[in-house]
Amino acid sequence: MQVSHQLSNAFMKDLLGGTLSPLLREVKEDDTLLLGLRGAYISVYYRGGQLLKITPGGDGYNVTFDRNYDSTNVLQERLTRYGCPDVLDRGIRSSEDTSQLVDVLSELKRLMDRHTKVQSGLEREFQQVAARVNTRTKSSNSSHYFITDIEHAYGKARYDMLGVRWRRNVEHRDHKCLVPVIFEVKYGLDALEGTSGVLGHLEKTLADLQDETFRRGLRENVIAQFSQLSELGLIKYERGRSKDLFEAVDGHVQIVFLLAEYVPHSIKLAGILDECDRLMASSAEAFEAAGLNVELLFASASLCGYGMHERTMLTTSKVRELVRTWNA
């Protein structure tokens, strides 16, 4: 993995105070939106789906909206009522163009709200809410995990979320304090098994982590995204007046599963946890030789909620204890 998701200085400048600044302002003010940094472009997510894709082109930016969401062909008429029928096609050449785009976002969101893909996409919607709570809300100031990306793609690899663990209460003076984290979300019992289930994802992730180039790219990507999102004001934490950049902890990666809507009386996890332990043990020698500490954890709420804290992260042994308690 290379540093593939860092925006250029020109892109950052346009977001912070130039052509794209009205869009950044809207993302900050609308907590249903999330900005994804893609290196060559940005994605704006809504309810876990891509609302907009903004790509540099010519003397400005091109705008992409998935017209499949407009299944009843009503969008053009609605844009015409706003007085900007070509707002999605002409591109962005000025901040005024961006403001017009922001004005019609409600219509684009309305189409997505009514589309079956979004209505049935509970896993992605859960994923975006988890990212928002741990990154942009008041809760993020006390959690230990920040999400730097969702729907992260690199080559054939796909990750639901990437982020960092930062124990600010004990590491606030240490600039080399961010532990890269690969997150995987599984929503409901049916998502636990199969090639895209817990074990399939864990096996692929462990194989990726044995590649030193991949590990270096993972570390550099999450740090670059953390820094740029902080600069854009899209990560909330008590930094005071500090402008210091943070670095990654050497030789440490976490793999964290978020198992949403697990049914307590189910016995599906028992065999999965045993196999997780086997996969981790089979990779232990390679990771030890590479000087790498890989932790496998399962996110657990603090009583109820989305905030992720170090103390509520569970090992496979702790998950087993919890499942036994539920079935006692």
Q: Where are the domains of the chain?
A: 9-119, 122-326
Position 3 scores a pLDDT of 66
CA geometry: angle at 19 spanning 14 and 21, to 5°? 70
Rounded Cα distance, 219 and 64, in Å: 30
- Kindly give the confidence (pLDDT) of every residue in the chain, 328 residues in length, as a single tens digit, with 9 standing for 90 and above: 556 789 999 999 999 999 999 999 999 999 999 999 999 999 999 999 999 999 999 899 999 999 999 999 999 999 999 999 999 999 999 999 999 999 999 999 999 999 999 988 889 999 999 999 999 877 666 788 999 999 988 777 789 999 999 976 555 556 678 999 999 999 999 999 988 999 999 999 999 999 999 999 999 999 999 999 999 999 987 654 444 577 889 899 999 999 999 999 999 999 999 999 999 999 999 999 999 999 999 999 878 888 899 999 999 999 999 999 998 7
Amino acid at 71: S
Angle between helices 212-231 and 9-17 (to 10 degrees): 30
Contact 194, 116 (CB under 8 A): no
Position 167 scores a pLDDT of 79
Specify the length of the chain in residues: 328
Four-residue CA torsion sign, 293, 225, 149, 171: positive
Position 195 scores a pLDDT of 87
Angle between helices 198-209 and 212-231 (to 10 degrees): 100
Q: Which regions of the chain does DSSP assign to beta strands (E)?
A: 33-37, 42-46, 49-57, 60-64, 145-154, 157-165, 176-187, 247-248, 252-260, 293-298
Contact 305, 126 (CB under 8 A): no
Amino acid at 124: R
Which residue reads 């809760």 in tokens?
Answer: 139
Rounded Cα distance, 30 and 102, in Å: 11
Contact 169, 244 (CB under 8 A): no
Q: Which residues pair with 152 in a beta bridge?
A: 159
Rounded Cα distance, 119 and 117, in Å: 6
Position 154 scores a pLDDT of 74
In the chain, what is the straight-line distance between the N-terminal and C-terminal CA atoms, in Å? 45
Rounded Cα distance, 62 and 187, in Å: 34
Give the pair of three-digit tokens for residue 313.
Answer: 């992260």
Q: φ, ψ for residue 150 (rounded to 5)?
A: -125, 155
Q: What is the CA radius of gyration of the chain?
A: 21
